Structures are given as C-alpha cells and as structure tokens.
Amino acid sequence: MRGLFPFGESVAGYDVPVLNEREVRASAGILFMFALVSFMNAWLNGDFRFTRVFVVAFLIDFTIRIFINPRYAPSLIIGRFAVRWQAPEYVGAPQKRFAWAIGWVLALVMLYLVVIERVIGPLNLFVCVACLILLFFETAFGICLGCKIYNLFSRDTARHCPGGVCEIRQPLRVGPLQIGVTALFFAALVGAGQILLNDPRDLDFLAKSAAQTATGGASETTPDGDCTPPDWAVAMGHGEIWKLHHNCK
C-alpha cells in the first residue's frame, strides 16, 4: 500500500517528494483545452451539458491526484505519455498538492452549482474564469499561481520550483530594444486592425446579413416570436448576445 498512496516520487538529489513538471504542464494544457471549449459552448450557445460533464471529469481527476496518487490521474497519465521522450524536470510535490487542492475546491463548488443545483449566473462565470486562468498560467508560462499562494500559508517555503524560480534571485532582464520591438508589433497590429476591421467588402457583407436577418424575422429560431432572453442569459450579462444568436437584433 505504501507504493500506491504516497504523493510524489522520491528521486535521488531531492530532499522532498517531486513531480515531473513537464507532464504536469501537459496535463494542464489538456484540461485547459476542454475547459475552454466547455466554457465557450456555455457562453455562446447557452448549452451547459458539456460543462457539467467536464466538471465531473475534472473533479474525479483531481480527487485521484490529491487523495490517491498523481500517478493514476487520467490527465497526468496522458500528459506523461505525450512528453515521454522529454527529460523530466522535477519540482517539489508539496506546493503542487496545495495548488491542486485549490482546483479541487473550485470543482466542488462547480459540482454543486452547475451539476446538482443547475444554478447559472455570475458566480459560475467567476469560478470558470478562475480555473481557466490557473490552467493557462500553468501550461503557457509554467507559473503555478497556487504554488505562490502556498508560501503564504506554509511554514516551509516551496522548493524545487519550475524553472528554478525558487532559487533565482535575479530575474532575466528585458532590454529596451526588446520592449521597443514589442511596442512596434502592437502598434502595427492596431494599424492593421483598423484597416481590416473597416474593409468595405466586409461591411457590405455584414449589412447584407443584417438585412436578411431582418427580413427573415425571428420566427426561424424563435417560433413564438418571443425575443425575451431567459433568466440565465440575463444573469450572466448575456442577454444581448442571446438576442443576436436568435435573430432578435
């Protein structure tokens, strides 16, 4: 049983249990992709079925990670398979467990709100966005926001952090030339956006689409002619978008 339930791996040269950061980031990327798809499906279409399935899957995965063994969490297994040819980058397991506990609590909240009570509103939006931010920072930048919170509550500071951030005291320098190139990029992007977003051909197409929608009426998608958005759409601030999607504008 000792080999089944310990959290993290014992690796020579590390004084605390560790996890492979590469497979953790791969797992975060997988979860982020499905979380984003389910969120956008709910946000744009008002369909929360996929969100409910994802919440259940997320909760099961994190329950296995925290209370059994990360080695048997499905998303981490897939992540390990995806990066199996990459050299491991070991990071401290204690802070990861704390960070995953935050995700587990958020999943519990979503289970109650979305799956059990079918509550739809701003609180759901806040929890979903929080999960997406945590997953995005983990997979895109290798920054574990939950691990940073860990240092505020633990007597032992996090050790063996991704990229050696716990040991680095002098951050990498971003020079003026690099800042200038980045600013120039965004300035050029704004200029290109002004041209592309105001292309007469696109404006004509949008005008024709609006005219067709107006002549077709709302009866195509709302047979009773009712263009009053449902309560869940209003609660999420989604009323006008709901009208647009149902040809009510």
- The one-letter amino acid at 1: M
* The predicted structure's pLDDT at residue 219: 39
Q: Categorize the per-residue pLDDT at 198 as very low, low, confident or very high, splitting at 50, 70 and 90.
A: confident
What value does the mean pLDDT take over residues 41-60?
90
* The predicted structure's pLDDT at residue 37: 93
* The predicted structure's pLDDT at residue 229: 77
Tell me which of 127 and 243 has the higher pLDDT: 127
Of 69-73, 144-148, 194-198, 244-248, minimum mean pLDDT range: 244-248
Q: Categorize the per-residue pLDDT at 182 as very low, low, confident or very high, splitting at 50, 70 and 90.
A: very high
* The predicted structure's pLDDT at residue 213: 58
Query: Across the chain, how many H-helices and E-strands are there?
Result: 10, 2
Q: Tell me which residue has tokens 């806040």.
A: 126
* The predicted structure's pLDDT at residue 27: 95
* Full residue range of the structural domain in which residue 219 is found: 176-245
Q: Look at the pTM and tell me if it is higher than 0.75.
A: no
In a domain, residue 171? The reply is no
* The predicted structure's pLDDT at residue 169: 60
**Residue 214, burial from CB neighbour count under 10 angstroms (0-12, 13-18, 19+):** exposed
Q: DSSP letters of 16-41?
A: S-EEEHHHHHHHHHHHHHHHHHHHHH
In a domain, residue 230? The reply is yes
Structure tokens at 153: 């509550």
Both 105 and 215 in a single domain? no
Both 38 and 159 in a single domain? yes
Both 152 and 195 in a single domain? no
